[in-house]
C-alpha cells in the first residue's frame, strides 16, 4: 500500500518548491509534513535572511509553509529552506572612511578620559600612600607564600 501511494505521488527533487505543515519544532529547526506525505526538516539557519534566535519566533506547530528543497541525502532525508525563497535584504552601502573616522574619534576620546582618570589617581596623595604601603606589603606577602 505504501508503494502504491508513493507511486501515485511523485517524489520531490532538489530545487522543487513544496508546501507542508509544521508538525514538530526543535531547538535546531522544524519538521514539516509535505503534501506528498514525506517528512522534511527546515534548519533554523534556513528560516529567514535575518537572525533567528528561536524557531518559535518564526514558525508554529500546524502552520502551513512554503519552502524549497535544498538537499536530499543518502538516507532520503529532505532539507528545506524558506530563506532561499525570500528576497535578499539589500543594505545601503556603508561609507568605510566615515565609519573608521567615527570609531577612531570615539577611541581617542575614551583613551583620553582613561588617561586623565589614571593621572588623577596617581596625583592623589591618599591614593599614592595606599599604593606604596599596600604594594610593598602585597609583594612581600606573595613572595613569602610562594
Question: Are 79 and 116 contained in the same domain?
Answer: no
CA 47 vs CA 21, 23, 31, 60, 67: distances in Å: 14, 15, 12, 12, 9
If pLDDT is split at 50, 70 and 90, which confidence band does 86 have? confident
Cα(5)–Cα(17) distance, rounded to whole angstroms?
A: 20
Report the predicted TM-score, pTM, of the whole model to 2 decimal places: 0.55
In terms of domains, do 19 and 77 share one? yes
Residues 50 and 110 in one domain: no
Rounded to whole angstroms, the Cα distance separating 90 from 85 reads 15
Phi/psi of residue 32, nearest 5 degrees: -125, 135
Q: Are 7 and 45 contained in the same domain?
A: yes
Residues 71, 14: one domain?
A: yes
The length of the chain in residues reads: 146
pLDDT tens per residue, range 14-44: 888 999 999 999 999 999 999 888 999 999 9
Q: How far is CA 126 from CA 2, 45, 79, 132, 139, in A?
A: 87, 57, 68, 10, 20
Evaluate if residue 128 carries a pLDDT over 90: no
- Show the domain range for 80: 2-85
What per-residue confidence (pLDDT) applies to 124?
A: 73
- 33 or 7, which is more confident: 33
The structural domain count of the chain equals: 2
pLDDT in tens, 47-75: 988 888 999 988 999 999 999 999 988 98
Amino acid at each position: 500500500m505504501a508503494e502504491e501511494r508513493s507511486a501515485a505521488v511523485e517524489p520531490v527533487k532538489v530545487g522543487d518548491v513544496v508546501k507542508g505543515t509544521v508538525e514538530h519544532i526543535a531547538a535546531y529547526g522544524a519538521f514539516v509534513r509535505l503534501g506528498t506525505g514525506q517528512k522534511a526538516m527546515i534548519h533554523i539557519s534556513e528560516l529567514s535572511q535575518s537572525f533567528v534566535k528561536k524557531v518559535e519566533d518564526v514558525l508554529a506547530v500546524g502552520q502551513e509553509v512554503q519552502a524549497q528543497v535544498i538537499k536530499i541525502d543518502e538516507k532520503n532525508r529532505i532539507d528545506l529552506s524558506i530563506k532561499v525563497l525570500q528576497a535578499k535584504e539589500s543594505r545601503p552601502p556603508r561609507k568605510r572612511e566615515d565609519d573608521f573616522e567615527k570609531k577612531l574619534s570615539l577611541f581617542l576620546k575614551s583613551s583620553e578620559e582613561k588617561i586623565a582618570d589614571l593621572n588623577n589617581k596617581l596625583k592623589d596623595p591618599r591614593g599614592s600612600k595606599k599604593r606604596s604601603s599596600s604594594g610593598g606589603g602585597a609583594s612581600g606577602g606573595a613572595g613569602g607564600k610562594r
